[in-house]
């Protein structure tokens, strides 16, 4: 299981922390991080930090030294007063999903400042969207959530606590196998192209369902990440096609095929949540080579708002579009 490193303040006066490593993912079996740790404590500049594990044992840290100059200047950090800014460079290994605590000195019991916590990225937005959308169809019980694009199964795992059944579809054979090997309850992991699997699945399901549509190529080693806003996941993600780089738009995003199948052939109530809506119609939005240009926002809006089955259709926030449909 891949974890993401999240920051939590322990000392409430620490205002802000940045690991400055791009994607901070902890892969199964552990990883070495070369981190540039910057943080702001309005009271003072901190001259020394040590990293310890949750039992208080110092971590095998190669160097925790003040950095003279920020490798990647962070606007927010630079805007802070000099006396409050602390920055260090550290190389440390994490072998297990343990909590790392940054202290202000090596002495036992010295002031803990903040922690780095391996965490499963928590789709709180999905929970919030569901609360709202479910209240718009209060008499309908949604027992099933279908997710397209499993990746590390973080969303599927969280959603399995909110639904009786989760079905998560992933094109990549390894990602699907890794997810299935986690042995999670109430989740069925299916391997395949969701543009093909969803048209089959809509006939299998015998009651209302939520569809969380999140399948799309999210990059691999062929991407020039230095020219990208998004830093990428620590594994290759899948796309259709014969392997040309970058893949064509239709090979990257199966959203149109998924939507056609649900609107045309799913017989029950559905809530459809489309992730990454801001990428619709764009090229190179999150990373160099990303291509959603075969889709148009106007075209999708006409289809979603124009269907005679549509109960509601709205943009929830920049990233998410939500649609409710009634049974056929």
Tell me the two tokens of residue 109.
């019991």
Q: Which is nearer to ligand SAM, 103 or 235 (CB)?
A: 235
Transcribe 258-304 into DSSP letters: HHHHHHHH--S-EEEEES-GGGTT-BSSSSTT-B-TTS-HHHHHHHH
Alpha helices in 72-153 (DSSP H): 75-78, 124-135
**Phi and psi torsions of 28, nearest 5°:** -60, 135
171 touching ligand SAM, by CB under 6 A:
yes
Residue 187 C-beta: closest distance to ligand SAM, Å:
12
Task: Return all residues near 115 (Cβ < 8 A) that are at least 6 apart.
Answer: 7, 8, 10, 99, 100, 101, 102
Window 130 to 149, contacts with ligand SAM (CB under 6 A) = 147-149
Residue 154 sits at φ, ψ, to 5 deg, of -65, -50
Under 8 Å CB-to-CB from 181, ≥6 apart: which residues?
Answer: none
Task: Please report whether residue 175 would count as binding ligand SAM according to CB under 6 A.
Answer: yes
Assess 258 for contact with ligand SAM (CB under 6 A): no
Q: Collect all residues with Cβ–Cβ distance below 8 Å to 269 and sequence separation of at least 6.
A: 137, 140, 142, 208, 324, 325, 326, 327
- Kindly identify the residues of this chain, within the stretch 181-240, that bind ligand SAM according to CB under 6 A: 193-195, 214-218, 237-240
Residues in binding contact with ligand SAM, number by CB under 6 A: 25
Task: Name which of 103 and 148 has its Cβ closer to ligand SAM.
Answer: 148
Residue 172 touching ligand SAM (CB under 6 A): yes
User: Contacting ligand SAM (CB under 6 A), which of 254, 274, 277, 322?
Assistant: 254
Q: Which stretch binds ligand SAM (CB under 6 A): 60-68, 79-87, 168-176, 280-288?
A: 168-176
3-state DSSP call for residue 157?
helix
Chain residue whose CB lies nearest ligand SAM: 149
Nearer to ligand SAM, 216 or 320 (CB): 216
C-beta of 20 vs 123, nearer to ligand SAM: 123
Binding residues (CB under 6 A) for ligand SAM: these are 123, 147-149, 151, 154-155, 169-172, 175, 193-195, 214-218, 237-240, 254
């Amino acid at each position: 299981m891949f974890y993401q490193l999240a920051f939590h303040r322990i000392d409430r006066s620490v205002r802000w922390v940045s690991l400055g490593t791009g994607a901070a993912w902890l892969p199964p079996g552990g990883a070495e991080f070369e981190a540039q740790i910057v943080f702001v404590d309005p009271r003072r500049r901190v001259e020394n930090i040590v990293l310890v594990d949750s039992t208080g044992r110092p971590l095998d840290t190669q160097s925790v030294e003040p950095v003279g100059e920020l490798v990647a200047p962070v606007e927010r950090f630079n805007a802070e007063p000099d006396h409050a800014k602390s920055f260090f460079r550290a190389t440390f290994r994490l072998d297990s999903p343990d909590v790392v605590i940054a202290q202000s000195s090596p002495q036992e019991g010295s002031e803990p400042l903040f922690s780095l916590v391996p965490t499963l990225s928590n789709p709180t937005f999905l929970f919030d969207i569901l609360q709202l959308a479910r209240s718009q169809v209060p008499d309908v019980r949604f027992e099933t959530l279908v997710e397209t694009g499993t990746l590390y199964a973080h969303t599927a795992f969280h959603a399995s606590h909110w639904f009786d059944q989760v079905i998560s579809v992933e094109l990549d054979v390894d990602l699907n196998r890794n997810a299935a090997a986690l042995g999670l309850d109430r989740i069925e992991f299916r391997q395949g192209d969701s543009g093909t699997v969803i048209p089959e699945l809509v006939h299998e399901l015998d009651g209302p369902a939520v569809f969380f549509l999140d399948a799309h190529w999210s990059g691999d080693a062929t991407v020039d990440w230095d020219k990208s806003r998004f830093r990428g996941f620590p594994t290759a993600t899948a796309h259709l096609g014969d392997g040309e780089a970058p893949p064509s738009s239709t090979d990257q995003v199966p959203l149109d095929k998924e939507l056609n199948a649900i609107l045309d052939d799913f017989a029950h109530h559905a809530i459809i949540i489309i992730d990454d809506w801001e990428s619709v119609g764009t090229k190179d939005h999150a990373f160099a080579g990303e291509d959603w240009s075969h889709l148009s926002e106007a075209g999708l809006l006409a289809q979603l708002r124009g269907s005679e089955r549509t109960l509601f259709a709205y943009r929830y926030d920049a990233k998410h579009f939500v649609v409710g449909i009634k049974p056929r």
